[in-house]
């Protein structure tokens, strides 16, 4: 390892972000800011029906509207628009229906694009949509995955409503359950969520000759470039994709969208640059949604609380089509149900089902929040059933710190962790014992405002990578990441990363890593990303992979720079490379510290190239591609205290403590920010957000007035801290992008149920709105039955 203690000045330092200067002064380059000469604006006409046959489309009326240059229906592109790709065929017999970017014969969700107008300004384009005539023949919608596979149910696609069934089993599940002293069985609902990145999607496409440049508010410029070539017949060398400043993604911009493909095709057809920016209400309908699963989970245990087995039957709503990784999202959770616990047997069956709704796909955590919710919820239920304190039950079952590396029943090998240490720290910060005493006192005196304590001792698999593992799961791409280091003649450094950031702070964190590795000042480093011309190779940003994979690629590239520079420095110092050591940016002769050259001096000498050793190329620039052999496994203990007003159903989060182990921290400021935001998004699922369709398949939550993204006044302050065990990569890093979201949802719901359990309530369906909490209290009446069935209907808003 080239880094030494001395040269590690940047790792762990709370550097203020380089990105901020342009973001706080309004100099940001969002896609919607782009204006090109002659640029035209697109507007889409979208289906008002959840399911209908398209009998006739006539766009000629729109063509004669003021300012309109062209108008097209799906049929106008039938020969070239192909089908939007699904890169994750999880089983051999999976049904992947054709998914034309613009519907031709049939629409299958409200909001599906059916026609496009191209006009000289966005107002004219929007106005002309009203002049398009379409005759629809409505078909029955399919909205409930629990009944979609019933005989005689209306079909979303000709092939039926089942996309796939995926099964996993490890250990003897029948034996684990057959004579188990205790079996607890529950049904959990993962409501549909709408990602709501603050920046709406936007695209600009410009053709010059046979080359196209696509600017898009995307997380995945590299994957998008590949997809445009592989699936839409545009030669790869002629495609450039630029993700300028991107305003958040959370998985929602990990997609190859209809609008991106159509911008490219329409731009080619009209011979002018075209632009499209969605409205929020358009985006809520047509940016892929997240979650939407029913989880049937049962757990078998001995009387002393030892878990014997776990069995999960999962129904996952695919929506109308399979998009980029739609079918794989539940599988990212499939390996996480056993979480941090030891057990003898585990099985999971996942059925992917089509409905006439917006397709689901990756949303922050993607599969792992769902799994973590179910296991952490049922651990509390098992604790209640056994009369064991819920933290005590977890402790009896979790992997002890001395047992790492540990291979779980799901087959994952966790490399590091210390659940005891994170939990002890969290309990102390939270004042766990004191809150338990207060809870008892309030229960004893019949306080109408009940106190509840929620636990989430979560882990996750992230750093989405090992290409071999992804291949074994039938994923369509690899998981490596790429980096290049360019040593400029004046000693400054350009860092090119394939991991395209959209709020994560790569420009700062990557500078810190490279500053340490090369011993150059943080300020002398510029990080370049998000443009396939500048950064031609990459797998982009999702799945908390940037640091654990992309960061390691940086280290590999720096190693190569140092190795090349060492040979040249040795020649400059008239010494053998073997006698040189490299520390804090200096090559010095061992035993003669006066004889030294800085890496900047070597860079200049390499540029001049007057006196390089024979056979040495005049360049220090280096590329590296890193592919790890395992995922990384951040973990932590999150504790939530809620006060639940039994008279109004209102839930107030009184305190929230998170102790996370994300491995070595490059920048604590950025890590803390990621944890805060993650917790907020998980709390939002627990308390506020739900994408609701009515009985006819209309989305009711198209605006931020209906879809309740929480504001500052809806959320608590968080107490965050860390424990650190090193991941088994050279940086020791694990990733932090999704941890908070994965952890917090069950912590909050466990706290609410904990508050209400004395009233006979053992579940509240998310989001736990005051109405749902109040109704659960009204219908419980002291009974001890599973209360989830009583509050599963009704909207969120």
Which chain residues interact with other proteins by CB under 8 A? Answer: 16-17, 19-28, 30, 32-33, 121, 123, 196-200, 245-248, 250, 277, 279-281, 502-505, 669-670, 672-674, 676-681, 703-705, 709, 711-715, 717-718, 740
What per-residue string of b and e applies to 157-171 under the rule 16 or more CB within 10 Å gives b?
beeebbbbebebebb
Which residue lies nearer to other proteins by CB, 374 or 680?
Answer: 680
Which residue lies nearer to other proteins by CB, 718 or 774?
Answer: 718
Closest approach of Cβ 725 to other proteins, in Å?
25
Task: Judge residue 754's burial from the number of C-beta atoms within 10 Å of its C-beta, 0-12 exposed, 13-18 middle, 19 or more buried.
Answer: buried
Q: Compute the Cα dihedral for 19, 23, 26, 28 and give only its sign.
A: positive
Which residue lies nearer to other proteins by CB, 19 or 361?
Answer: 19
Q: Give which of 284, 251, 295 is closest to 708, Cα–Cα.
A: 284
Closest approach of Cβ 111 to other proteins, in Å?
15
Q: Give which of 499, 604, 520, 621 is closest to 564, Cα–Cα.
A: 621
CA distance 395 to 150: 42
CA distance 146 to 735: 35
Closest approach of Cβ 373 to other proteins, in Å?
19
Six token digits for residue 243: 């993700």
Which residue lies nearer to other proteins by CB, 219 or 356?
Answer: 219
Six token digits for residue 603: 């860079």
Q: How many CB atoms lie within 10 A of CB 778?
A: 12
Which residue lies nearer to other proteins by CB, 20 or 174?
Answer: 20
CA distance 36 to 22: 22
Q: Residue written as tokens 């069950």? A: 746
Which residue lies nearer to other proteins by CB, 20 or 403?
Answer: 20
Q: Give which of 550, 543, 548, 546 is closest to 739, Cα–Cα.
A: 543
Closest approach of Cβ 141 to other proteins, in Å?
26
What would you report as the CA-atom Rg of the chain, rounded to the nearest whole angstrom? 28
Which residue lies nearer to other proteins by CB, 121 or 304?
Answer: 121
Q: How far is CA 523 from the centre of its chain?
A: 30
Q: Are 764 and 787 in contact (CB under 8 A)?
A: yes
Closest approach of Cβ 31 to other proteins, in Å?
11
Which residue lies nearer to other proteins by CB, 122 or 306?
Answer: 122
Which residue lies nearer to other proteins by CB, 44 or 72?
Answer: 44
Q: Give which of 478, 107, 111, 85 is closest to 256, Cα–Cα.
A: 85
Closest approach of Cβ 774 to other proteins, in Å?
23
Q: Which helix (H) or strand (E) holds 294?
A: strand 290-301
Six token digits for residue 557: 């590239």
Q: How far is CA 416 from the centre of its chain?
A: 22
Task: Judge residue 307's burial from the number of C-beta atoms within 10 Å of its C-beta, 0-12 exposed, 13-18 middle, 19 or more buried.
Answer: buried
Which residue lies nearer to other proteins by CB, 469 or 719?
Answer: 719
Closest approach of Cβ 166 to other proteins, in Å?
31
Closest approach of Cβ 641 to other proteins, in Å?
17
Polymer length of the chain: 797
Closest approach of Cβ 655 to other proteins, in Å?
13
Six token digits for residue 476: 């369509």
Closest approach of Cβ 92 to other proteins, in Å?
38
- Strands lying side by side in the sheet with 113-119: 68-73, 113-119, 40-46, 274-277, 202-208, 211-216, 239-242
Closest approach of Cβ 250 to other proteins, in Å?
7
Which residue lies nearer to other proteins by CB, 250 or 373?
Answer: 250
CA distance 677 to 658: 12
What counts of helices (H) and strands (E) characterise the chain? Answer: 19, 28
Closest approach of Cβ 33 to other proteins, in Å?
4
Closest approach of Cβ 509 to other proteins, in Å?
12
Q: Are 797 and 706 in contact (CB under 8 A)?
A: yes
Which residue lies nearer to other proteins by CB, 198 or 611?
Answer: 198
Q: Report whether the peptide linkage leading into residue 767 is cis, meaning its omega lies within 30 degrees of zero.
A: yes
Which residue lies nearer to other proteins by CB, 27 or 792?
Answer: 27
CA distance 6 to 593: 15
Closest approach of Cβ 45 to other proteins, in Å?
17
Question: CA distances (Å), 298 to each of 49, 180, 500, 783, in order?
Answer: 38, 12, 40, 21
Closest approach of Cβ 492 to other proteins, in Å?
23
At 447, give phi and psi (nearest 5°): -60, 125
Q: Are 240 and 213 in contact (CB under 8 A)?
A: yes
Which residue lies nearer to other proteins by CB, 282 or 381?
Answer: 282
Which residue lies nearer to other proteins by CB, 194 or 753?
Answer: 194
Which residue lies nearer to other proteins by CB, 36 or 421?
Answer: 36
Closest approach of Cβ 120 to other proteins, in Å?
12
CA distance 250 to 589: 49
Closest approach of Cβ 739 to other proteins, in Å?
13
Which residue lies nearer to other proteins by CB, 232 or 250?
Answer: 250
Which residue lies nearer to other proteins by CB, 362 or 756?
Answer: 362
Q: Residue written as tokens 């710190």? A: 401
Q: Looking at 95-181, which runs of residues are DSSP E strands?
A: 106-107, 113-119, 133-138, 162-170
Closest approach of Cβ 502 to other proteins, in Å?
6
Q: Are 791 and 765 in contact (CB under 8 A)?
A: yes
Residue 672's Cβ-side half-sphere holds a number of Cα atoms within 13 Å equal to 15
CA-based end-to-end distance of the chain: 55
User: Where would I find the H helices in 279-322?
Assistant: 280-286
Q: Compute the Cα dihedral for 493, 499, 501, 504 and give only its sign.
A: negative
């Amino acid at each position: 390892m080239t880094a030494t203690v001395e040269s590690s000045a940047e790792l762990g330092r709370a550097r203020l972000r380089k990105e901020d200067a342009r973001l706080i002064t309004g100099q940001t380059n969002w896609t919607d800011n782009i204006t090109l000469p002659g640029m035209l604006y697109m507007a889409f006409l979208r289906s008002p029906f959840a399911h209908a046959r398209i009998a006739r489309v006539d766009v000629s009326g729109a063509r004669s509207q003021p300012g309109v240059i062209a108008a097209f229906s799906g049929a106008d592109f039938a020969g070239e628009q192909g089908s939007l790709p699904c890169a994750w065929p999880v089983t051999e017999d999976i049904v992947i229906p054709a998914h034309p970017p613009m519907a031709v014969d049939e629409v299958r969700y409200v909001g599906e694009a059916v026609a496009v107008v191209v006009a000289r300004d966005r107002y004219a384009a929007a106005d002309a949509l009203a002049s398009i005539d379409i005759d629809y023949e409505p078909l029955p919608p399919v909205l409930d995955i629990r009944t979609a596979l019933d005989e005689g149910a209306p079909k979303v696609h000709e092939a039926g409503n089942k996309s796939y069934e995926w099964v996993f089993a490890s250990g003897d599940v029948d034996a684990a359950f057959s004579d188990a002293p205790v079996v607890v069985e529950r049904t959990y609902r993962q409501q549909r969520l709408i990602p709501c990145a603050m920046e709406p999607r936007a695209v600009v496409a410009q053709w010059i000759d046979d080359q196209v440049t696509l600017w898009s508010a995307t997380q995945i410029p590299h994957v998008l470039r590949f997809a445009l070539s592989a699936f839409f017949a545009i030669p790869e060398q002629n495609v450039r994709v630029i993700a300028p400043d991107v305003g958040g993604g959370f998985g929602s911009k990990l997609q190859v969208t209809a609008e991106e493909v159509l911008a490219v095709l329409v731009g080619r057809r009209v011979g002018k640059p075209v632009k499209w920016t969605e409205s929020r209400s358009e985006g809520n309908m047509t940016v892929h949604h997240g979650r939407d699963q029913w989880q049937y989970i049962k757990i078998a245990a001995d009387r002393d609380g030892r878990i014997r087995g776990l069995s999960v039957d999962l129904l996952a709503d695919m929506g109308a089509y399979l998009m980029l990784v739609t079918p794989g999202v539940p599988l990212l959770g499939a390996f996480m149900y056993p979480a941090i616990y030891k057990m003898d047997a585990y099985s999971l069956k996942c059925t992917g089902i089509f409905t006439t709704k917006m397709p689901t796909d990756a949303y922050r955590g993607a599969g792992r929040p769902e799994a973590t919710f179910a296991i952490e919820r049922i651990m509390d239920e098992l604790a209640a059933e056994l009369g064991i304190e819920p933290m005590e039950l977890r402790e009896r079952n979790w992997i002890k710190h001395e047992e790492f590396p540990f291979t779980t029943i799901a087959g994952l090998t966790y490399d590091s962790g210390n659940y005891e240490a994170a939990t002890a720290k969290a309990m102390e910060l939270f004042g766990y014992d004191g809150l338990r005493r207060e809870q008892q006192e309030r229960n004893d005196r019949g306080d109408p405002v009940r106190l509840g304590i929620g636990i989430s001792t979560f882990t996750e698999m992230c750093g989405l990578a090992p290409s071999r593992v992804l291949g074994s799961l039938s994923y369509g791409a690899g998981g490596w990441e790429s980096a290049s280091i360019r040593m400029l003649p004046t000693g400054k450094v350009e860092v090119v990363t394939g991991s395209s950031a959209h709020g994560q702070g790569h420009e700062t964190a990557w500078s810190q890593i490279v500053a340490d590795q090369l011993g150059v000042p943080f300020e002398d480093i510029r990080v370049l990303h998000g443009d396939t011309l500048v950064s031609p190779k990459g797998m982009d940003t999702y799945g908390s992979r940037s640091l654990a994979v992309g960061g390691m690629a940086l280290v590999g590239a720096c190693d190569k720079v140092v190795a090349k520079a060492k040979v040249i420095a040795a020649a400059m110092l008239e010494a053998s490379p073997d006698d040189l050591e490299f520390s804090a940016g200096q090559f010095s002769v061992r035993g003669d510290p006066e004889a030294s050259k800085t890496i900047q001096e070597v860079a200049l000498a390499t540029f001049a190239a007057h006196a390089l050793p024979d056979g040495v190329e005049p360049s220090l620039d280096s590329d590296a591609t890193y592919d790890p052999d395992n995922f990384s496994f951040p973990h932590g203990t999150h504790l939530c205290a809620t006060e639940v007003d039994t008279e109004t159903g209102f839930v107030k989060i009184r305190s929230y403590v998170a102790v996370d182990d994300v491995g070595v921290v490059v920048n604590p400021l950025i890590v803390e920010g990621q944890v805060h935001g993650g917790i907020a998004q998980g709390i939002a699922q627990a308390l506020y957000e739900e994408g609701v369709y009515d009985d006819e398949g209309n989305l009711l939550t198209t605006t931020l007035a209906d879809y309740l993204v929480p504001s500052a006044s809806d959320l608590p302050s968080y107490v965050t801290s860390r424990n650190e065990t090193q991941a088994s990569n050279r940086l020791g890093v694990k990733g932090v992008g999704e941890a908070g979201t994965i952890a917090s949802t069950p912590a909050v719901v466990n706290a609410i149920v904990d508050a209400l359990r004395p009233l006979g309530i053992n579940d509240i369906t998310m989001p736990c709105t005051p109405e749902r909490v109040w109704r659960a209290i009204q219908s419980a009446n002291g009974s001890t039955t599973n209360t989830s069935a009583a509050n599963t209907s009704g909207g969120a808003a």
